[in-house]
A and B are shown apart, each in its own frame.
Chain A
């Protein structure tokens, strides 16, 4: 029983990290209706920039601030050169554009900072924590705590402030929002910048786990099933789905793995997502879309 708890809790802790990745997608989806495939590449770019600055002797805080500034510039550029010219195009076109953006950022990040793997230590020990009979990894607990804090903060900011309201207005009807004096370009830049900030935090936590390297950009593939299960536009959906995917993945690996073979964590979340989507095509918390001719 305690083994089951351990597997379940361990899975849910990494699930929180999936939710953190998914959060960056949810923010952008809510504001601009785009599934931003480039979020994964942004995670890589942010982490690489931060670590490279750190390795050049800058302090933690300074590196963080400079990286954040770079990400804001990236958001402004993206809004100007990609989103604005593609306004009113079908979502599938925007998605494909973010695919292009994704390779572009990946290539640029590695051209500037090189392709070698950077070790990175957040200073959190990996000592085990005992929760009764259940054994947990301290790093996972702290990382999950940071992620949870960020999620709560963003939920409050976007749920209770005027900025959040403006964001929802732009998402709902860009023209109506414009007509009551909301500058939609500024809102988009803001949201993409915040998503950049989330990418940076994600990059630091995942980077400390896996090393800062190319495979960081693949976290997008972990986040995708989470988003699909949770519904694209819902923060709470993303968290719940993250927990489901994290726990389900670990359970499948421990209990299903010995029967059908190892390495199933790559595809298991997707199969889970398809099954769930069959019954709830808009995800657990997504809104049903109404199509009009």
Chain B
């Protein structure tokens, strides 16, 4: 195993957790091939996704694809905390709001350029993430949702209460300043989509490297799977948890800033209420806990499902259906799916998709790999 170049961070513990290091010879060779092809594959995905902007309609770009990408990024962010480290958060939207407002205020008061403000906004959110994570030193398990919920209510209250954050706008709704990247102004739906795409793509690659190729990423899994065992293996559990909070909040902060700047075009606290936190959590739960692709699949499902549902209902009943009815059907379906996935397949849609793919490749091989993971 040591020749494979997989760094064994905590010998004995991590190979069991990861599964990759325990694969047989063929799997091992396949892993090497996959690793050398992976960057090319990622680049192809970026080019393909980018070329969509050439022919997709403005509606698709600005109302479906851009929010899909941003929600995917938020899903990836929360997944780092909940899916990979096993810490629950109900305050995702608070971190998004912090990212959005920090980016806005940095541009407004500090004249920071757009791209930099985006990442600095994420950094500010990361600082608050660490603060929200501090109680995890003393408070265990799902008691921890209290600190994230507290942050959720506190942040929205502060943002609406104090005019400084919103440049003393009377309505509290500010139109976002134009996006300018080194002189190029991205003001078309396609421009917004491309900016979002590149940032989300980069951050997803970074998350992949972090989670699967670094010692810290493996420590996340160790803490999730058995905290006491991780502690006795020499992992500084509290530090790892704080890192998970910081990185997850950074992602959510960037997602929030993108949400305000490239999707809504306005910066306002109302879009970041508790229901947005739940939406991000549902993306992770439906898409797949502890799966990077889970964020994407969950976001795609949550964005497309209501549209598809209203189309189907329209086709069946012949006239357009009340929005409240669609929302409630959606709630029932989401709730049922979350329960079903938690019972049958916590890795969600990501795992289902993988199973379908493997079924095609060959049942025997799939069955063999099932045993090792």
- Chain A interface (Cβ within 8 Å of chain B)? 35, 81-82, 85-86, 89, 91-93, 95-97, 99-108, 110-111, 115, 221, 224-225, 228, 260-261, 263-264, 266-267, 270-271, 273-274, 277-278, 281, 289, 291-293
* Inter-chain contact B157/A263, CB cutoff 8 Å: yes
Excluding A108-B328, A277-B146, 5 further A-B contacts by CB distance (< 8 Å) are: A96-B342, A103-B278, A104-B332, A261-B162, A278-B138
B140 in the interface, Cβ–Cβ < 8 Å? yes
Chain B residues within an 8 Å CB radius of A260: 161
Interface pair B157/A101, CB less than 8 Å apart: no
Cα–Cα, bound, A171→B240 (Å)? 32
Nearest-neighbor residue (CB-CB) of A270 within chain B:
B150
Contact among B135, B281, B343 with A86 in the assembled complex (CB-CB below 8 Å): B343
> Is A97 within 8 A of B153, CB to CB?
no
Q: Assuming A85-B343, A93-B346, A100-B339, is B146 touching A108 (CB within 8 A)?
A: no
- B133 to chain A minimum Cβ distance, whole angstroms, is 12
Nearest-Cβ distance from residue B337 to partner chain A, whole angstroms:
8
Q: Are A107 and B335 closer than 8 Å at their CB atoms?
A: yes
Would B88 and A95 count as touching, CB distance under 8 A? yes
Whether B18 sits at the interface, judged by CB under 8 Å, is: no
> Do the beta carbons of A293 and B146 come within 8 Å of each other?
no
Question: Shortest distance in angstroms between B218's beta carbon and chain A's nearest beta carbon?
Answer: 19
Task: Give the residues in chain A near B285, CB-CB below 8 Å.
Answer: 96, 99-100
Instruction: Give every chain A residue within 8 A of B45 (Cβ-Cβ).
Output: none
Asked whether, in the complex, the Cβ of A274 is within 8 Å of the Cβ of B346, the reply is: no
The list of the 7 closest CB pairs from A to B, nearest first, reads A104-B335, A107-B331, A100-B338, A270-B150, A267-B153, A103-B335, A107-B332
- Given A95-B88, A99-B281, A103-B331; A225-B154 close (CB under 8 Å): no
Q: How far is the CB of B172 from chain A (nearest CB, A)?
A: 13
Establish whether residues A95 and B142, one from each chain, have CB atoms under 8 Å apart when the complex forms.
yes
Contact with A along B332-353 (1 / 0, CB 8 A): 1011111100110010000000
A89 to B343, CA, bound (A): 9
Size bracket, chain B contacts: 35 or more
Task: Please report the C-alpha to C-alpha distance between residue A127 and residue B164 in the assembled complex, in whole angstroms.
Answer: 43
Q: B315 at interface (Cβ–Cβ under 8 A)?
A: no
Does B138 lie within 8 Å of A281, measured CB to CB? yes
Chain A residues closer than 8 Å to B143, beta-carbon distance: 228, 277, 281
Which of A97, A105, A108, A263 is within 8 Å of B338, CB to CB? A97
For residue B139, CB closer than 8 A to chain A, the reply is yes
- Minimal beta-carbon separation of A248 from chain B (angstroms): 14
A to B CB contacts below 8 Å, 16 in the list: A96-B281, A96-B338, A97-B343, A99-B281, A100-B337, A101-B339, A103-B335, A106-B335, A107-B330, A110-B331, A224-B145, A261-B162, A263-B160, A270-B150, A277-B143, A291-B227
Tell which of A97, A107, A278 touches B329, judged by Cβ atoms closer than 8 Å: A107
In the bound complex, do residue A110 and residue B328 qualify as a contact, i.e. CB atoms below 8 Å apart? Answer: yes
Q: Are A261 and B329 in contact (CB under 8 A)?
A: no
Tell whether B226 is near chain A: CB-to-CB under 8 Å.
yes
Does the CB pair B153–A266 fall under 8 Å? Answer: yes
Residues of A within 8 A of B327 (CB): 107
**Are A100 and B342 in contact (CB-based, < 8 A)?**
yes
When A224-B149, A281-B140 are in contact, do A111 and B325 touch as well, CB less than 8 Å? yes
| In the complex, chain A residues whose CB is within 8 Å of the CB of B86 | 92
A264 touches B342 (CB 8 A): no
Indicate whether A111 sits within 8 Å of B332 (C-beta atoms), given known contacts A35-B142, A277-B138, A291-B228: yes
A216 smallest CB distance to B (angstroms) = 15
Task: Write the nearest CB–CB distance from B255 to chain A, whole angstroms.
Answer: 21
Contacts of A266 in B (CB 8 A): 153, 157
A104 touches B336 (CB 8 A): yes
Please tell me if the beta carbons of A100 and B154 are within 8 angstroms of each other in the complex.
no
A contact residues around B334 at 8 Å (CB): 100, 103-104, 107
Q: A277, B157: Cβ atoms under 8 Å?
A: no
| Given known contacts A35-B142, A96-B285, A99-B338, A115 and B149 CB-to-CB distance under 8 angstroms | no
Cα A264 to Cα B161 in complex, Å, equals 10
* Residues A82 and B329 in contact in the complex (CB < 8 Å), given A266-B153, A267-B153, A270-B146: no
Contact A105 B153 (CB under 8 A): no
Q: Do residues B342 and A274 form an inter-chain contact, with CB atoms below 8 A?
A: no
Q: Which residues of chain B from 145 to 169 have a CB within 8 Å of any chain A CB?
A: 145-147, 149-150, 153-154, 157, 160-162
